Amino acid sequence: MTGRYPDEVDVAIVGSGPTGSAYARILSEDSPGLTIAMFEVGPTVSQPAGSHVKNIVDDDSRSDAQRRSEGSAPGEATLNSPRAVAAGGRRARPGTFLLPDGDFAASGDGLPLAAMSSNVGGMGAHWTAACPRPGASERIGFLDATGELDELIGQADRLLGVTTDAFDGSPLGDLLRERLAAAVDEGRAPAARVQKMPLAVHRREDGRLVWSGSDVVLGDETRNNPNFTLFDETLAVRVLVDDGVAVGVEVHDRRTGETHEVHARIVVVAADGLRTPQLLWASGIRPTALGRYLNDQSQVVFAARITGIEDLPVPEGQKVAGTLGESSGVSWVPFTDDLPFHGQIMQLDASPVPLADDDPVVPGSIVGLGLFCAKELSADDRLEFSDDATDSYGLPAIRVHYALTDGDRETIERAKAQIMTLARAVGEPLDDAPFQLPLGASLHYQGTTRMGETDDGTSVVGPNSETWEVDGLYLAGNNVIPTATACNPTLTSVALAVKGARDIVHRLSDR
């Protein structure tokens, strides 16, 4: 041991979000004799460690947990800072903080809302927990060809605790889906029809919802594994490489300021779509595709009122503090190649547009509609890492180069038309036109260390998530997804993590 760190472990994992946690869980289940150290730059903000902050009942404690997840630089633009307010529309969601240079493209599009979370559990302590399966061209062809993808996604469902029945008691959910289905289901394959959104949430016996975070992914199997240790407030500053082989990580203890080398037989970097490639760059691992093929999902949003329900017996809104309302649940309009958007329809607690004072709003009748659009992939959409400037953690500063293509703009226009169709099907659209959120709002940054079937220069890792360039270095996160998905990506990236973890189990038990 050196300070609070071991000198040597079997597997070092950087990042404690859902994907790093999936590695720890599978290793703990399948090879509990392996020693595992997980390093997380942020603090522990919830208990059990990594749990979703929405499960914190007390409003002040929840806000505190969100604020402590918002990075290290005082004055970084977050929803809670005056600078963010002054910046108008450029705000981060609670629990996240903006990439300072996300807005680099002055006249182009950039990713003005590119954001991260720094806390045990990562963004998985703040997410909406929607876990749709990828469909059609969102799927990864070479894993489908081997028949693996669905089995891996089934494992991801298990690890994330995905259910579809949490909102079964919602009085308006079925009606809402019937109306949406009538508008779009014709001609769709069963898997692409309107349905309940799979969510990483479960209901306790007392009726309270429990949202899954990394605590659920880790599970008791990892927490009770005496060979697993989570080190919070620990920044990985470099992957150690010897003769083309990963041999550990250099970590910086943010409590004491000391730096240590922790040697490992395998290194997993699961440090999000922006910071995973950043750490590789800082380590001198710089394959051609690193940071490239960045894709975010442009978001079109709108609101509508479910009409014709005035006489239905709707119970009082059963809103649980900080969670979704429960009258109309969460519904899903899946992606198709013909309509390349993923639709999420959820109850809003209040109308986003002013309504007349005497408007008798039926509880749960106002829903938000969101369509996420798949992007055309381009190597030019990329992260640039500085050789001189550093971020607030002292790692290479990140700049985003990102532009929509004509095809992307056309997809967004089609999504706007489609969302109007959906809103009319629901009942009464609540505004004249839908609007597009600033780019980066989806928080689903993909492709920056993408997976490939072969090492042809367009990918950073192979099908097991091991880098082509450095033996024994595995990467995890949405950054590994090679396709342009429109659906929420965490289920897919956890599935890919399961495959990578199994590969580690296999190779370490073979030695």
In terms of CB distance, is 127 or 228 closer to ligand FAD? 127
Q: Determine the interface stretch with ligand FAD among 28-36, 161-169, 453-461, 474-482 (rule: CB under 6 A).
A: 474-482
Q: Given candidates 12, 18, 195, 345, which one binds ligand FAD under the rule CB under 6 A?
A: 18
Phi, psi of 456 (to 5 degrees): -110, 15
- How many Å is the Cα radius of gyration of the chain? 22
Using the rule CB under 6 A, is 369 a contact of ligand FAD? Answer: no
Using the rule CB under 6 A, is 483 a contact of ligand FAD? Answer: no
The three-state DSSP-derived secondary structure of 449-480 is: CCECCCCCCCCCECCCCEECCCECEEECCHHH
To the query of whether residue 444 is one of the catalytic residues in this protein, the response is yes
Using the rule CB under 6 A, is 126 a contact of ligand FAD? Answer: yes
In terms of CB distance, is 19 or 31 closer to ligand FAD? 19
Distance CA 415, CA 300 (A): 7
Give Cα 469 distance to the centre of its chain: 26
Using the rule CB under 6 A, is 334 a contact of ligand FAD? Answer: no
Using the rule CB under 6 A, is 14 a contact of ligand FAD? Answer: yes
Distances (CA, A) of 417 to 2, 301, 335: 60, 11, 15
Using the rule CB under 6 A, is 122 a contact of ligand FAD? Answer: yes
Using the rule CB under 6 A, is 127 a contact of ligand FAD? Answer: yes
Using the rule CB under 6 A, is 66 a contact of ligand FAD? Answer: no
Asked if 384 contacts 101 with a C-beta cutoff of 8 angstroms, the reply is no
Point out the catalytic residue in the list 52, 126, 252, 444.
444
In terms of CB distance, is 210 or 476 closer to ligand FAD? 476
Q: Report the 10 Å Cβ neighbour count for 436.
A: 17
Report, in Å, the least distance between residue 363 CB and ligand FAD: 24
In terms of CB distance, is 50 or 427 closer to ligand FAD? 50
By CB under 6 A, what part of segment 377-436 binds ligand FAD?
none
Q: Determine the interface stretch with ligand FAD among 14-22, 136-144, 363-371, 433-441 (rule: CB under 6 A).
A: 14-22
Using the rule CB under 6 A, is 490 a contact of ligand FAD? Answer: yes
Token output for 307: 């009409």
Q: Given candidates 493, 495, 498, 504, which one binds ligand FAD under the rule CB under 6 A?
A: 493
Q: Determine the interface stretch with ligand FAD among 319-327, 418-426, 451-459, 472-480 (rule: CB under 6 A).
A: 472-480
Using the rule CB under 6 A, is 128 a contact of ligand FAD? Answer: yes
Using the rule CB under 6 A, is 449 a contact of ligand FAD? Answer: no
Number of Cα atoms under 13 Å in the Cβ half of residue 301: 15
Place of tokens 């028949």: 147
In terms of CB distance, is 160 or 309 closer to ligand FAD? 160
Q: Given candidates 13, 41, 152, 339, which one binds ligand FAD under the rule CB under 6 A?
A: 41
Using the rule CB under 6 A, is 488 a contact of ligand FAD? Answer: yes
Burial code (b: 16+ CB inside 10 Å, e: under 16) for 478-496 equals bbbbbbbbbbbbbbbbbbb
Q: Given candidates 149, 236, 268, 484, which one binds ligand FAD under the rule CB under 6 A?
A: 236
Distance CA 28, CA 219 (A): 10
Q: Given candidates 70, 109, 157, 272, which one binds ligand FAD under the rule CB under 6 A?
A: 272
**Number of residues engaging ligand FAD in binding (CB under 6 A):** 40
Q: Determine the interface stretch with ligand FAD among 3-11, 73-81, 218-226, 488-496 (rule: CB under 6 A).
A: 488-496
Distance CA 443, CA 127 (A): 9
Q: Given candidates 114, 123, 303, 473, which one binds ligand FAD under the rule CB under 6 A?
A: 123
Using the rule CB under 6 A, is 96 a contact of ligand FAD? Answer: yes
In terms of CB distance, is 309 or 347 closer to ligand FAD? 347
Report, in Å, the least distance between residue 251 CB and ligand FAD: 8
Sign of the alpha-carbon torsion through 457, 18, 339, 93: negative
Q: Determine the interface stretch with ligand FAD among 28-36, 255-263, 265-273, 449-457 (rule: CB under 6 A).
A: 265-273
**Nearest alpha carbon to residue 73 among 47, 99, 46, 109:** 99
Distance CA 112, CA 104 (A): 8
Using the rule CB under 6 A, is 93 a contact of ligand FAD? Answer: yes
Using the rule CB under 6 A, is 78 a contact of ligand FAD? Answer: no
In terms of CB distance, is 171 or 291 closer to ligand FAD? 291
Using the rule CB under 6 A, is 235 a contact of ligand FAD? Answer: yes
Phi, psi of 4 (to 5 degrees): -90, 0
Cis before 48 (ω within 30): yes
* Cβ partners under 8 Å of residue 332, min gap 6: 130, 132, 194, 195, 196, 197, 198, 342, 343, 344, 345
Q: Report the 10 Å Cβ neighbour count for 211.
A: 25
β-pairing verdict for 209-211 and 199-203: antiparallel
**Nearest alpha carbon to residue 19 among 214, 233, 291:** 214
SS3 29: helix
SS3 439: coil
Using the rule CB under 6 A, is 327 a contact of ligand FAD? Answer: no
Using the rule CB under 6 A, is 15 a contact of ligand FAD? Answer: yes
Chain contacts with ligand FAD (rule: CB under 6 A)? 14-20, 39-42, 93, 96, 117-119, 122-124, 126-130, 235-236, 270-272, 275, 279, 443-444, 476-478, 488-490, 493
Question: Active-site residues: which are they?
Answer: 444
